[in-house]
Structure 1
């Protein structure tokens, strides 16, 4: 199908041909697509080989038809999202899309590390959103075929041939700052008013203000993987909200400030020839100024990345190995 973005007409043709697809784009376009073998999510921030762009007129379409030997589509809410891993094929991929700020996303984000069969198959996906200027005013959407949801997750379960093994990889441009103090929190979740530093309790918003911290990203080590938590600073309410949950049993540090050299960093660490499916964080799009910055790959910039659990400020990609 090639590395390019698609028009609505081109996407309709693929759907009518019976292709098994994952689609990202504006709600305006998604709502007009026909019934078929596809899942989708609202997101106008896309990646073409020529660079990132904000568009209401093009769609990112990933075709898995030539890869699978079987597939099934599922819809999950907050009460049964834990079944997403047990519904998987024996040798497969679980591709999901979840609406930003939804209850199903919150349930997944906090409890997914404990899901049964969590690491037997690659569980990957992204968080649907809206135009950034309209976030919080317009509900993000997900689609299973032409059925729309604002409070449910959609999933495409793919069964792979026996000679193909899928794996997920994460590219993280951030690392913990050596000058950062160790920070902990008293509860799991997307919001903590207070934090603990050296055994002392501080208001988290005031701590950030007093320390004049500019890079609003926390970094932690989750079982050997460096994981980011993006922070959202509300200057009106003087609160800090997390784009992914923190956990009370982990230690966090603030990220080291980066220069805007993302393209060089990306090219040094990524082999484009072996990537089947990929997505990045909207934070990367804005901070590293990736609009019209050619990285040679197609994909999207999401409101959160899923690689077994909810991540922030990363690039996630799927690799297929033949055995």
Structure 2
């Protein structure tokens, strides 16, 4: 596996040679690529070898040199329950979803219920645009089989591996549940927004509660799923409508706690990444990039696109997702 920042001609040559790749970059660059064994998604934010940066003139490419084959595939938003239909035995699947799309919402809320979804490693990210372009330019995904761009649905790359290889899919979450064991949140319905929450057993107007208690919305709500900590990040608190919106859905009945405050973001990532190895595919959350002021700063050995959501089987927030291919023991 190899991560590189390359020009359009360099990436095009790799595609024509038959390389299996996932590609991230500006829409105008992705649109110039030939057909092949790849999928792509829009973003202009990256963590590079020299630190976080906005890059518009090159593409970030992860090449899966270990792959014995790959099939790009596009699914419209009404067909996402068929993601696992293309799984290859012993392989893995990469996925990209446009931010703010119907597919984004559908996968986030219902993805865990799709037949066979967890039968092999599924990793990827939610594509985005420059923050100044939100609302004027739609995030896109690209299907390498056709070269077509889509602002709805998902693209998948079903990757086959030779015998003797195994896939390691993991997340790096620098957040933990806060020390206040008496402060817990549950929600009456699953979804990307809410007006009500139950806090320590009492129902409250959640927007008013957040404002009145000075909650730092840069810190995510954290749920503990049998030892795996999963973040839900607060997107907006609207005091006029009383609505609080999230970057990933809260799940009804699940107990959340506010994350504990961090010191230095970049240092926390570097410490968390220590000993995780090098050369893996990874993607990091735009909220970590912004709140951690990661421009010009490295996050350990990990390089890759900065995204509007990360996927390790399910949609995640404020998390780094990493995937590596190793020789089987």
Fold-level match, TM-score > 0.5? yes
Counterpart position of 1:151: 152
Per-residue Cα deviation, 1:1-27 (whole angstroms, up to 9, x for no partner)? 854311222212212222121110011
Structure 2: segments with no counterpart, 5+ residues? none
* Alignment map for 1:1-323 (pairs within 5 Å): 3-64=3-64, 66-145=65-144, 146-179=147-180, 181-214=183-216, 215-235=218-238, 237-271=241-275, 273-294=277-298, 295-323=300-328
Find the residue that maps to 1:85 and give its secondary structure: helix
The question of whether the paired residues in 1 share the 8 Å contact of 2:122 and 2:313 is answered with: yes
Task: Tell me, yes or no, if the aligned pair for 2:2 and 2:279 is still in contact at 8 Å.
Answer: no
CA RMSD, 1 decimal: 1.8
The alpha carbon displacement at 1:122 in A equals: 0.5
Q: Please identify, of 213-222 and 239-248, the stretch whose mean Cα deviation from structure 2 is larger.
A: 213-222
1:165–1:320 contact (8 Å) kept in structure 2: yes
What is the distance in 2 between the residues matched to 1:6 and 1:272? 25
- Taking structure 1 as the reference length, what is the TM-score of the superposition? 0.94
Distance 2:15 2:276 in 1: 26
Unaligned 5+ runs, structure 1 = none
Contact 1:274 1:319 in 2 (8 A): no
How big is each residue's C-alpha offset from its partner over 1:79-114, in whole Å with a ceiling of 9 and x where there is no partner?
211111232011111100000011112111111212
Pair 1:12–1:282, CA change in 2 (3 A): same
Tell whether the 8 Å contact from 1:275 to 1:318 is kept in structure 2 after alignment: no
Counterpart CA distance in 1 for 2:15 and 2:273 is 34
Q: Distance in 1 between matches of 2:115 and 2:227?
A: 21
User: Retained in 1: the 8 A contact 2:126–2:308?
Assistant: yes
Aligned length: 322
Contact 2:177/2:260 (<8 A) preserved? yes
Aligned partners of 2:93 and 2:156 also within 8 Å: yes
- Judged with a 3 Å threshold, the aligned counterparts in structure 2 of structure 1 residues 223 and 116 are, in CA distance, closer, same or farther, namely farther
Q: 1:119 to 1:270 in 2, by over 3 A?
A: farther
**Displacement, 1:280?**
0.7
Q: Is the 8 A contact 2:197 2:205 kept in 1?
A: yes
TM-score by length of 2: 0.92
Residues 182-221 of structure 1: CA deviation (Å, up to 9, x unaligned): 1110111111111111332211111100110114411001
Q: 1:88 to 1:97 in 2, by over 3 A?
A: same
Runs of 4+ in 1 over 6 A off after TM superposition: none
For 2:127 and 2:135, the matched residues in 1 are separated by 13
Alpha-carbon distance, 1:140 to partner: 0.4
